[in-house]
Structure 1
Amino acid sequence: MKSNIYSTLLKLVQCPSITESPDEKNMAHVIYHILNEFPYFHDNPNHLVLHHIPEHDLYSIIALLKNPSPTKKTIILLSHFDVVAVDEYGYLKDYAFDPASLIKELHKVNLPDDARADLDSGDWLFGRGTMDMKCGLAIEIELLRYYAIHPEKLDCNLLLLAVPDEEGNSRGMLGSSSKLLALADAHDLDYRLVINTEPFFPLYTGDTKKYLYTGSIGKLLPMIYCAGKEAHVGEPYSGLNPNLILSEINRRIEANAQFCESWGSFVTPPPSCLKQKDLKDSYSVQIPRAAVAYYNWMILRDTPQIILDKLKKVAEEAIASVLDERAKQVTAYLSKSSYPLQIPPWKVEVKTYEEVYQRALETHGDVLIQYLNQKIPQWIEAGVKDERELTIKIVDATYAYYPEKNPLIILLFAPPYYPSCFNEGLTNDEAAALALVDELIAYAQSEFDTTLEPCAFFPGLSDNSYFGVKNGQSIVHEFKPNMPLWGISYDLPIDTLEKLNVPVINISTLGKDPHKYTERLNLPYSLTVTPAMMMKVLEKR
């Protein structure tokens, strides 16, 4: 099996399936044709599905291998086949999807010491997607091939789900969820467990431990829109620069440990600003009228409303600090000049998008709705495809209809949203998954002298999140009014996801440096230990 996994891995890596590129779609067809060569799928063609997600023109692959001994018990093998872009490779990007050529070129490069040692060892395969996560997908494909030939060894049915867009907005997973339920009904399947093969992800810089993950961290993308007061730069005290306010907010949020959550020994990374900009389209000597920032915010139990409450407190404290400092600077300026300045008594409110939208709606009624309904398709047609940028367009347009034109902060959310997924052992399936983790830890130690530790959350984002949605309706209630794109280009099929509330475990491959030009896969571990541990789960005992 090892040679088959390696061969399939190289075939998958050679397809440059960068998220939102044409080759992402091509990758789905490559996988489909690999699976379609299996005699099992010749005999059972309706068990192999090239699933089209029409709203995004993407494809996922769903392959069902039924146990010859009738059983409802079904295990889902989950993976994604898209990869991040290769700009960081520089002149080496032409080799990023050709591991053999890349390795030759890397010998000419001044690599970090750790990467150089791994390159010289011959045990590591370099290239985009080798680690994240085409090896995991290759293992799942080859396990399906093996058990199609030896189905009598299985303890369950197997369903392989390979999705696109995991590195983007998880449109592949979300767009495939209803198909999973339809297949369960059509084939009388009971989904008991999801096995993902995402690679090990360090909990902190320098972490070399190996983990068995039983859940996945969640994520929100809160956005802060700040409307200031424009002025000529020759009269800066007559205006209020939104960049100043946002900078103070950003200073209070960025990498602030008080916003971390914990679960036992697991601690979320602190929030980090992914973008901060003002909304001036071109150069002028006018203070910007508005600015915006949005944040990567990891969560375990915090709800959207809890995050909004935290942001409101931060914003109000930042405003007070900025206005206090402004008053000091005005006093200092007046001590140097005799100008009779008239300084506006600034009051900056903090509102949610829902509050601003409702106030604008009360004032303008259908005019606002008609304007947004007209402009949103125009923006998309003009090339504003990124959902964060589209959210900025919508909140900016909504504020234009807001009747009070004083400085204002608006709190909202942009896509995507990843629910946190955690196993509390409350159901029979959850308890069985936790017991299985203990068994796998003992197996890895005895068979491979490998120490694994249980970890409640996969710390890198993953599609595991969408198999753990609980209290979905309350989440929608909090999210929908404050996410302008909800129901336009972004939606969560909450009813479907709640029915897919299946425990997950992540049996990882071993690699280093995801999303870097030194991304690499450890072959001895990934081609031997990972598949053996998966077979331990899947076979009769």
Structure 2
Amino acid sequence: MLQSREQVLAYTKQLVQIESIVNTEGEKVIAHSLHTLIASMPYFQKHYDQVLLEKTVDDAQDRFNVLAFVKGTKAPSNRTVILMGHIDTVGTNDYDELQSLAYNPEKLKEALKEEPLAEHVKEHVHSDNWMFGRGVLDMKSGLASHLFLLHYYSENPHLLEGNIVFVGECDEEDGSNGILTAVSTLNKWKEEYGFQYVGAVNADFVSPRYADDPNRYIYQGTVGKLLPSFFITGAETHVGSAFEGLDPNFIAAELTRAINYNPALCDESLGETTVPPVSLKQMDLKPSYDVQTALSAYVYYNFFIHSWTPKMVLDKLCAIAEDAFTNALESLQQRYEAYAKLSGQPANPLPWKSNVMTYEQLEQQLVDLHGDTYRTHMEEFKAALMEREDLDTRMYAARVVEEAWRWMPEKQPTIIAFYSSLYSPRIEISGKTNEEKRLLEGVKKAVETVQPSYAYPIVTRNFFPYISDMSFVAISDNEEGIRAANVNNPSFGTKLRVNYEEIRALNVPVINIGPYGVDAHKKLERMEMTYSLEVVPNLTNEVVQYVLSSD
């Protein structure tokens, strides 16, 4: 067993004290600091061409990745393992009056002792085995574990058969520009140095799955994440003549009722099930108050997948949208008739019918109708929209759909389904290739070796349950699935760029062995030090040694 605790702790403290909130100058600061740290190691002073500070491409922010590699000398081998982790964090507004201490674990812990806390949190605050602070769990202690191994093998290349590549990527907490840039470099290194990538180990955090869960988890593969979105048009009217129009918010509410928390939309694979979708935004697009009902509404939902493709998800949700639209119209008719009875007015059948289409179908209709005139206009519209700093990817997509809808000659109430954010692909590691089999065997051997020295069960599962950069080093989807995610995303090719061919070319099986703790992205973010500083580096090392060995 490697004696890692003190060195990983020192690296963790060094990284945590650097404020590296995503989409801020801090991301650049930590990248330069990390590059300086690695470049100062004696090995990299001699092999300075094996450490790289890499600027991201197609990125509105000025930020960098840090990559480095050590070539083992134990035996000639091109087999290579990637150790990856992100350098950015979420913000610190949740710390309230303790915000100034968020990056100082010792002082923060002392201050928290004076706070009113739940009993189990008090135990951790008064324990020497827990560290608090922004980034200690997500995921600077995991990155520190990888740094430890990079440093260890830089001093002991004779103990390494094959090679290890370290990737510290930016922007994991938002748009994954870091890993999407790094993939290109990893492919270049494959050609330049002859690397044969046989596995990747991410070091993102792991947490209990339920109350009093004693397990520490290793994840083999990762959940996929989509953001299915719906632009909903109605028929405007004065509020004093409510039933002469169709409020799109009424349809949106029925759609959310049908999708939100719906177990029928949980995706099961390899014995594991995703959590159901949940709403992340529901709004109308009226710019200001008046007494006219809204012209359109916009909703989107988080959607996790294990085996379904983006096309399958869109098909399922369009069917649900058809039902929701029909239910909304039936409910509206019933309420209209009840109101007519109360007011002594005649009630005629309302004129609307359900109408659902995908963004791809909308685009095709408009191209068929207007040809190059429409294409040129939308290209110019998107270019102008790109200049607006107030629009994130989700709102950018909504505005593109809204503009496209203006070109429809007959504007009957409609639901348009599309994707408005980055698709984080699912990765299934099931042993279908020799490299996957060897990686899974390596995990099993590592747990068998390390478990006797640690009190809590170390358990393997098939899908990392959170969004992570693991999604961008391999692809389990076929081309049809990827295509559906792209052509139904109004941001793709402008606000959003992903080179899936680069990912498919890399296509390395990936697992997650990361620090253990609770309350990531919260004021009480904390990690258990024994597992995170001692067990994680040794588990990772055992996997590295196994998959690189020629036995």
Instruction: Report the TM range for the smaller structure's normalisation.
Output: over 0.9
Match of 2:424 among 418, 422, 435: 418
Which is further off, 94-103 or 71-80? 94-103
1:358 matched to 2:373: no
Aligned to 1:65: 70
Contact residue 72 and residue 159 of structure 2 kept, 8 A: no
1:42-83 Cα distance to aligned partner (Å, 9 max, x none): 111110011111321331111011112432011100100111
Aligned to 2:235: 229
Aligned to 2:30: 27
Aligned to 1:485: 491
Aligned to 1:451: 457
Inter-partner Cα distance in structure 2 for 1:15 and 1:54: 24
Aligned to 1:464: 470
Contact residue 233 and residue 295 of structure 2 kept, 8 A: yes
The 5 A counterparts of 1:286-297 are 286-297=292-303
1:304 matched to 2:304: no
Aligned to 2:43: 40
1:438-467 Cα distance to aligned partner (Å, 9 max, x none): 112211222334421220111112211222
The 5 A counterparts of 1:204-219 are 204=210, 206-219=212-225
Q: CA deviation at 1:204?
A: 4.1
Inter-partner Cα distance in structure 1 for 2:513 and 2:538: 10
SS at 1:158's partner residue?
strand
Contact residue 412 and residue 483 of structure 1 kept, 8 A: yes
Q: CA deviation at 1:302?
A: 0.7
1:92-116 Cα distance to aligned partner (Å, 9 max, x none): 2221112122112211211222212
Letter in 1 for 2:543: V
1:317 matched to 2:320: no
1:232-285 Cα distance to aligned partner (Å, 9 max, x none): 111110111111101111011111111111124311011011111100111111
Match of 1:148 among 147, 154, 159: 154
Aligned to 1:196: 202
Gaps of 5+ in 1: none
1:171 matched to 2:158: no
Inter-partner Cα distance in structure 2 for 1:386 and 1:205: 35
- Structure 1 pair 520/3, CA: closer, same or farther in 2 (3 Å)? same
1:53 matched to 2:59: no
Contact residue 203 and residue 459 of structure 1 kept, 8 A: no
Inter-partner Cα distance in structure 1 for 2:477 and 2:12: 38
Q: CA deviation at 1:33?
A: 0.8
Inter-partner Cα distance in structure 2 for 1:308 and 1:47: 44
Letter in 1 for 2:141: C
1:240 matched to 2:246: yes
State the TM-score, normalizing by the size of structure 2. 0.95
Aligned to 1:80: 86
Contact residue 31 and residue 61 of structure 1 kept, 8 A: yes
Q: CA deviation at 1:472?
A: 4.3
Q: CA deviation at 1:404?
A: 1.4
1:187 matched to 2:190: no
Aligned to 2:533: 527
Letter in 2 for 1:10: K
Q: CA deviation at 1:23?
A: 0.7
Which is further off, 110-119 or 441-450? 441-450
Letter in 1 for 2:299: A
Contact residue 228 and residue 301 of structure 2 kept, 8 A: yes
Letter in 2 for 1:222: P
Contact residue 360 and residue 403 of structure 1 kept, 8 A: no
Gaps of 5+ in 2: none
Inter-partner Cα distance in structure 2 for 1:126 and 1:53: 30
Inter-partner Cα distance in structure 1 for 2:305 and 2:502: 22
Which is further off, 219-228 or 450-459? 450-459
- Structure 1 pair 140/428, CA: closer, same or farther in 2 (3 Å)? same
Inter-partner Cα distance in structure 1 for 2:86 and 2:305: 22
Q: CA deviation at 1:511?
A: 1.1
Inter-partner Cα distance in structure 2 for 1:206 and 1:345: 55
1:381 matched to 2:359: no
SS at 1:215's partner residue?
strand
SS at 1:8's partner residue?
helix
Inter-partner Cα distance in structure 1 for 2:545 and 2:181: 30
The 5 A counterparts of 1:10-21 are 10-21=13-24
State the TM-score, normalizing by the size of structure 1. 0.96
- Structure 1 pair 451/340, CA: closer, same or farther in 2 (3 Å)? closer
Contact residue 363 and residue 403 of structure 1 kept, 8 A: no
Contact residue 138 and residue 205 of structure 2 kept, 8 A: yes
Inter-partner Cα distance in structure 2 for 1:113 and 1:449: 22
Contact residue 309 and residue 477 of structure 2 kept, 8 A: no
Q: CA deviation at 1:342?
A: 6.1
Inter-partner Cα distance in structure 2 for 1:500 and 1:258: 34
Q: CA deviation at 1:373?
A: 2.2
Aligned to 2:409: 403
Q: CA deviation at 1:340?
A: 5.0
- Structure 1 pair 320/287, CA: closer, same or farther in 2 (3 Å)? same
